[in-house]
A = this chain, B = another copy of it.
Amino acid sequence: MTDDLPRRVLAPLEAALPDLEALYKDLHQHPELAFAETRTAAEVARRLTEDGFEVHTGIGRTGVAGVLRNGEGPTVLLRADMDALPIEEQTGLPYASTARGVDDGNDVPVMHACGHDMHVTWLSGAARLLAADREAWSGTLLAVFQPAEEGKGGAKAMLEDGLFDRVGRPDVAFGQHVASAPAGWMFTRPGVLMAAAEVMRITLHGQGGHSSRPEATVDPIVMAASVVLKLQTVVSWEIAATESAVVSVGSVHAGTAPNVIPDEAVLEISTRAFDDGMMKRVRAAVERIVNAEAVAAGAPKPPTIETLAAYSATDNDEAETNALTEVFREHFGAEATHLAPQITGSEDFGEFGRAAGIPSVFWLVGGADRDEVLAALNEGRFERDVPAAHTSRFAPILHPTLRAGVESLVVAALSRFAPPS
């Protein structure tokens, strides 16, 4: 493939940017929690329909898939995720979110703190461009807008709801994520790019009572505190310094009044590692610790450990990734195409490839001010000054981020479609 066809397909992008920017800001102002992305899904479906896609909605509750059959050739799946997070936005942006949502029955603030609004905009833009120039390629395009990527297993939900039965089986799957790196740069990595993850809810069962008489209770809050501290030893002690694993407690909730010791405490934790063996070791350690802490506390029954979600490592096909990296180098230039480091964040994008038995590639697209990122790195203040995903100040810059992500999807898809017949 030369870069001529991509340039042709991408030609209308400049003119389309204002519309994409408006779409992005609208999504950003109207973030929706996992499996509640109804407004986002409706907008996405509307656009796909306009662009001539066969549109399937409600897959895996709120997922959307658009199919564009365009002659013989490979079926290429492009995927974006749609859900936002229960975080209160503090970016100060004019288009900052003030939205609220319901999470586990609680009213919570909602924010696109993980860039899924950007991902949706990218894929909407790319789908439109590819649909607009069907003579540039031959094959079938699957545009998949997934719900509930944030620890809720939206990819599996779509697959179990018969995604491939409805839209056909792809030959390759591509996906991308915005990153706190220089805007417009591409980061690829053959093999494992992102960690496997498991999300667990641990309910520690105590026996409540009046807070003036802890001796008449089995205090689940003291139990929870001890569990949280003991869990630190999984990484500090049980995993070699040259191995990688993360055990994080994302939430702890217990009690409704200061003068009542509650019956139970609920922890939500996530564990991460780059391979299954390590995931199993970590899981075993978590179980051992949690159960023993309950015994130490004299708990009336063992803790309940539920797996809320389990994501495999995002394992990029070596050959496809190397080929795509070449395509990116040619299109974006070598100075903007880099080897991604392994990162401990997780994705359920890999589920699509695994379910279909096909290769998949996931890459990162920089979305932060290049000069600021490089200066912050040089000056050792990157962690402090460059807002990361999942924080209340996360805010990709719009340009050239918007453009770059659309381009990467288009060139990736074109690199795998058959040439126009």
Which chain B residue shows the least CB distance to A290? B296
Q: Complex: how many Å from CA A232 to CA B214?
A: 11
Is A421 in the interface zone, CB < 8 Å from B?
Answer: no
Contact B225 A229 (CB under 8 A): yes
Contact A211 B293 (CB under 8 A): no
Is A18 in the interface zone, CB < 8 Å from B?
Answer: no
Is A197 in the interface zone, CB < 8 Å from B?
Answer: yes
Contact A244 B242 (CB under 8 A): yes
Contact B257 A239 (CB under 8 A): no
What residues of B have a CB within 8 angstroms of the CB of A243 in the complex? 215
Known contacts A199-B258, A250-B255; is-contact A230 B235 (Cβ 8 Å): no
Contact B246 A214 (CB under 8 A): yes
Interface string of A179-210 (1 = CB under 8 A from B): 00000000000000001010111000001111
Shortest beta-carbon distance from A339 to chain B in Å: 14
* A residues 348-396 touching B (CB-CB < 8 Å): 383, 388-392
Is A253 in the interface zone, CB < 8 Å from B?
Answer: yes
Is A2 in the interface zone, CB < 8 Å from B?
Answer: no
Is A52 in the interface zone, CB < 8 Å from B?
Answer: no
Contact A87 B242 (CB under 8 A): no
Which interface residue of A248, A249, A265 has the most chain B CB atoms within 10 A? Answer: A248
Q: Complex: how many Å from CA A236 to CA B288?
A: 18
What residues of B have a CB within 8 angstroms of the CB of A256 in the complex? 85-87, 103, 106, 108, 251
Is A305 in the interface zone, CB < 8 Å from B?
Answer: no
Partner of A262 from the list B219, B251, B272 (CB cut-off 8 Å) is: B251
Contact B390 A259 (CB under 8 A): yes
Is A333 in the interface zone, CB < 8 Å from B?
Answer: no
> Interface residues of A toward B: which range?
35 or more
Q: Complex: how many Å from CA A404 to CA B289?
A: 44
Q: Complex: how many Å from CA A247 to CA B252?
A: 20
Partner of A268 from the list B103, B239, B258 (CB cut-off 8 Å) is: B258
Which chain B residue shows the least CB distance to A272? B212
Contact B260 A237 (CB under 8 A): no
Interface string of A269-296 (1 = CB under 8 A from B): 1101100000000000100110111011
Contact B390 A211 (CB under 8 A): yes
Contact A241 B390 (CB under 8 A): no
Which chain B residue shows the least CB distance to A105? B107
6 residue pairs bridging A and B, Cβ less than 8 Å apart: A209-B391, A210-B389, A212-B343, A224-B252, A249-B255, A250-B261
Chain A: residues with CB nearer than 8 A to chain B?
85-87, 103, 105-108, 113, 150-151, 195, 197, 199-201, 207-217, 219, 221-222, 224-263, 265, 268-270, 272-273, 285, 288-289, 291-293, 295-296, 298, 308, 341-346, 383, 388-392
Known: A229-B232, A258-B308; 6 extra A-B contacts, CB below 8 A, are: A86-B257, A212-B270, A215-B243, A252-B253, A258-B270, A261-B390
